[in-house]
């Protein structure tokens, strides 16, 4: 078993995954992610982006291949060890903001810290600091139903960043947002990650979102390609132009 490079916080080799219906999701994907890097995994819907993030984060074990985090083999871990890894070292942002409706904004943001055993007081202080950094501190006592879609997504980003993860996985984090909201959410996410040395693996089918990354890994039909031509993004305020990304 070959150890990963020392400067890669995440390293994957020859990942294969097939869905239950027999359709292939990953067909031998290999990549490395450097510490503090923002890496975009680009490609159209169905190209394997989400499956790759699931395998890299240990949420779903690849059926074949290796995943290493800081030279620790994730692919040999059992379910409980992978769960602890995700809780203690990784953060996750879903495509659509999902918050606990009974909790206010700061309680939602502090929830992962409190689940780790952090006191309510310390968790609140950390959550409020991050909410201020992401320009939503003035809504800390609001309930999720009182927020806009963009505000709810910023709370989800705060919730993922507050525990200071080593790696943040963001799966289409701006997909449901309008162009102006998307730009603001991306700016706050990337600024916060860079200022705290957090590695980000970002899955997106949007060329404007991929453009904020340090590097792009395009996927097509579950395989790495040199160039992927992304389709126009349709949204209420207009249509984006088609774009190609290359590595």
Q: What is the CA radius of gyration of the chain?
A: 18
Half-sphere exposure (CA, 13 Å, Cβ side) for 187? Answer: 8
CB under 8 Å to 31, separation ≥6 — which residues? Answer: 10, 11, 12, 39, 217, 224
Question: With contact defined as beta carbons under 8 Å apart, do 71 and 19 qualify?
Answer: no
- Residue identified by tokens 């040199």 is 226
Q: How confident is the model at residue 243, as a pLDDT? A: 41
Q: Do the Cβ atoms of 173 and 157 come closer than 8 Å?
A: yes
The beta strand positions in 99-214, using DSSP E, are 167-171, 199-204
pLDDT of residue 8: 87
Q: How many CA atoms lie within 13 Å of 21's alpha carbon, on the beta-carbon side?
A: 2
Tokens (6 digits) for 169: 């996985």
Are 173 and 95 a contacting pair, CB within 8 Å? yes
> Mean pLDDT in each 10-residue stretch from start to end of the chain (247 residues)?
71 94 92 95 93 96 95 94 93 92 97 92 95 92 94 92 94 84 85 91 92 94 75 47 41
């Amino acid at each position: 078993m070959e150890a990963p490079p020392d400067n890669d916080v995440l390293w994957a080799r020859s990942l294969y995954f097939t869905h239950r219906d027999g359709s292939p999701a990953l067909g031998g994907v290999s990549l490395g992610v450097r510490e503090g890097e923002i890496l975009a995994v680009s490609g159209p819907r169905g190209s394997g982006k989400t499956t790759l993030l699931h395998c890299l984060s240990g949420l779903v074990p690849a059926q074949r291949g290796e995943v290493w985090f800081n030279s620790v083999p994730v692919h040999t871990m059992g379910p409980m060890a992978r769960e602890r890894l995700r809780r203690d070292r990784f953060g996750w942002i879903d495509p659509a903001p999902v918050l606990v409706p009974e909790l206010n904004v700061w309680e939602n943001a502090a929830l992962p810290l409190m689940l780790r055993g952090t006191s309510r007081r310390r968790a609140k202080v950390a959550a409020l600091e991050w909410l201020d950094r992401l320009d939503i501190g003035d809504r800390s006592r609001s309930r999720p139903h009182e927020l806009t879609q963009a505000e709810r997504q910023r709370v989800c980003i705060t919730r993922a960043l507050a525990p200071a993860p080593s790696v943040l996985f963001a799966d289409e984090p701006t997909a449901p947002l309008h162009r102006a909201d998307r730009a603001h959410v991306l700016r706050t996410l990337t600024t916060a990650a860079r200022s705290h040395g957090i590695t980000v693996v970002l899955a997106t089918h949007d060329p404007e979102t991929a453009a904020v990354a340090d590097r792009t890994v395009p996927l097509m039909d579950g395989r790495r390609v040199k160039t992927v031509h992304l389709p126009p993004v349709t949204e209420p305020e207009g249509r984006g132009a088609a774009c190609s990304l290359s590595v």
